[in-house]
Amino acid sequence: MILLYVLAALLYGLAAWRYARGATHASRPRDARALLALALIVHAATIVHVTFRPDGLDLSFPQALSVVAWLTAIVATAAGLLRKLPGVATIVLAVTALCALAPAAGGAPHRFTYGGEVWAALHIAVALAGYAFLVVAALQAVLLLGLERRIHRGSAPMPGDGALPLLTLERLLFRLVLAGFVLLAATLVSGLVFSEQIFGRPLLFTHKNVLSLAGFAAFAILLYGRWRYGWRGRRALYAVVAGTVLLLLGYLGSKFVAQVLLGR
């Protein structure tokens, strides 16, 4: 199994290198897409083998990290960002390569016994997909902040990443944010209303839930400001990054502290 982890990471790394190298040419290398497709397939095989267990889902920190990274690569690919923005491709694929290796480090499993229930599985799937959309949006926001700084300094944009106008990239960014926000809203509503049916217990206001609600509120305010007042530019980009950080701290951060640092 360790060989599959290494193979997935290697394929992601090679795809990232080919996308980065293709930024200096008029067309993106086709072999980068082929390498990425193979990486996603191998990575998916490791996720299915390790995460889905007869006694429930294994949602330990390494597994959750791996799944979120895989979904992030899927979303970035489907949105066309890897083709349009080689800078995003390099970051996404490099980070995904590292996360694909995370389960190889081992660690105590964290069984989610309700994962076999349809509503619980759907709740988890929607939540992870929402995280993936918002992670991709945050990575694009970081890239746009860098592009803005280069433009204000009078520097030329990085090869490939300046091919699209900033306004076009910003509109694409907010489409990702809206999609992630809708999925996140569905996750929070289902968690609030059907907590006992999904998890077998009433909703508790833990650090995870509080941070998740704070991230949701940040994106709600941002989208309202965008719609009502036309918010854009650095302030909006920083808000995207901040909201995503809150969500990741709520989900992955709470898992890291509880399972890795405290050994629960």
Reported as a pLDDT band with limits 50, 70 and 90, residue 146 is confident
Rounded mean pLDDT, 211-221:
91
Q: What is the pLDDT of residue 106?
A: 66
Please give the mean pLDDT across all residues of the chain.
80
Chain segment 57-66, per-residue pLDDT in tens: 777 788 888 9
Q: Which residue has the higher pLDDT, 231 or 221?
A: 221
- Structure confidence at residue 122 (pLDDT): 79
Q: Are 42 and 1 in contact (CB under 8 A)?
A: no
- Is the pLDDT at 9 greater than 90? The verdict is yes
Taking 60 as the threshold, does the pLDDT of residue 27 lie above it? no
Higher pLDDT, 207 or 104: 104
Q: Is the pLDDT of residue 239 over 90?
A: yes
By residue range, what is the domain housing residue 237? 2-261
Q: Residue 113's pLDDT is what?
A: 57
Name the pLDDT band for 80 (thresholds 50, 70, 90): confident
Give pLDDT tens digits for 124-144.
888 889 999 999 999 989 888
Residues in Cβ contact with 17 at an 8 Å cutoff, skipping those fewer than 6 apart: none
The pLDDT of 24-34, averaged and rounded, is: 68
Output the 3-class SS for the chain. CHHHHHHHHHHHHHHHHHHHHHCCCCCCCHHHHHHHHHHHHHHHHHHHHHHEECCEEECCHHHHHHHHHHHHHHHHHHCCHHHHCHHHHHHHHHHHHHHHHHHHHCCCCCEEHHHHCHHHHHHHHHHHHHHHHHHHHHHHHHHHHHHHHHHHCCCCCCCCCCCCCHHHHHHHHHHHHHHHHHHHHHHHHHHHHCHHHHHCCCCCCCHHHHHHHHHHHHHHHHHHHHHHHCCCHHHHHHHHHHHHHHHHHHHHHHHHHHHHHCCC
| % the chain with pLDDT above 90 | 36
pLDDT for 26 equals 45
State the total domains in the chain: 1
Q: Is the pLDDT of residue 119 over 80?
A: no
The predicted pLDDT at position 99 comes to 93
pTM score of the predicted model: 0.84
Quick one: average pLDDT of 43-65? 81
